[in-house]
Amino acid sequence: AQTVTQSQPEMSVQEAETVTLSCTYDTSENNYYLFWYKQPPSRQMILVIRQEAYKQQNATENRFSVNFQKAAKSFSLKISDSQLGDTAMYFCASSNTGKLIFGQGTTLQVKP
Amino acid sequence: DAGVIQSPRHEVTEMGQEVTLRCKPISGHDYLFWYRQTMMRGLELLIYFNNNVPIDDSGMPEDRFSAKMPNASFSTLKIQPSEPRDSAVYFCASTPGQLKAYEAFFGQGTRLTVV
């Protein structure tokens, strides 16, 4: 079965500091994709970053980067120089053969 | 493209009534998903379609829920009869498929309240 687990229900970080959100997943597929989505209070789901499992290099998007450990099935998100606008719920997700499954989410609060 | 369009944005209904949620995916996307979001369960996948065909409906909670995709540009999620425990935000999402790594585009969601 395809599962995604986020073990941190809530986290907080001071503005300008760095925070890491954890995610583990389980899949029997060899080729799959991993994602981090952000859901601010507006409720809109926004793609933050994407990683293709067959690529060893960790994906980066400006202040957002991932630590992809394929053997450990771990996919953490690092947010550098945290900004107040980063306050949101963050969802980790995996997809293979089209089925997109989400973790339970981590609520991140950035404090001024 | 206007993105994934869901209607209505908010729905308040009485227990026992039929509720129909609507979704228009992004043109050209092969996959369509219905999710339910609650505080207790997070984002649950209810059902997804590939090229208008239901692939996996194992997340549909019970027979009161049904979903259809009569064509590539329209899908419905129906609850009949509705119950208070169905209160949640329902999201529709579409993805372009494997060639573009299944990146999902979400609608704004429908907040359903059953009283």
Per-residue pLDDT tens over the stretch A9-43 = 999 999 999 999 999 999 888 788 899 999 999 89
What integer pLDDT is reported at residue A51 of this predicted model?
A: 93
Give the Cα separation of A74 and A36 in Å (integer).
13
Q: Does A21 touch chain B (CB under 8 A)?
A: no
* Whether the predicted pLDDT of B2 surpasses 90: no
Query: Each residue of A52-111: pLDDT tens digit?
Result: 888 889 999 999 999 999 999 999 999 999 999 999 999 999 987 777 889 999 999 999
Q: Which residue has the tokens 């760095």?
A: A18
Q: Do A100 and B89 touch (CB under 8 A)?
A: no
Termini Cα distance of chain A: 41
Q: Is residue B36 classed as helix, strand or coil in its secondary structure?
A: strand
What integer pLDDT is reported at residue A45 of this predicted model?
A: 92
Lookup: tokens for A27: 């899949």
Give the Cα separation of B19 and B65 in Å (integer).
10
List A86's β-bridge partners, or say none: none
In Å, how far is B7's CA from the nearest CA of chain A? 14
In Å, how far is B72's CA from the nearest CA of chain A? 16
List A91's β-bridge partners, or say none: A37
* pLDDT > 70 in chain B, percent: 95
* Whether the predicted pLDDT of A1 surpasses 80: no
Residues of A in contact with B50 (CB under 8 A): 98
Residue A86, phi then psi, degrees to nearest 5: -80, -10
Query: Each residue of B33-78: pLDDT tens digit?
Result: 999 999 888 899 999 999 999 999 999 988 999 999 999 999 999 9
Q: Cβ of A74: how many Cβ atoms within 10 Å?
A: 14
Residue B98, phi then psi, degrees to nearest 5: -65, -35
Q: Is residue A38 classed as helix, strand or coil in its secondary structure?
A: strand
* Whether the predicted pLDDT of B99 surpasses 80: no
The DSSP bridge pattern shows strands B88-95 and B110-114 to be: antiparallel
What integer pLDDT is reported at residue B100 of this predicted model?
A: 54
What integer pLDDT is reported at residue B96 of this predicted model?
A: 85
What integer pLDDT is reported at residue A69 of this predicted model?
A: 95
Q: Does A61 touch chain B (CB under 8 A)?
A: no
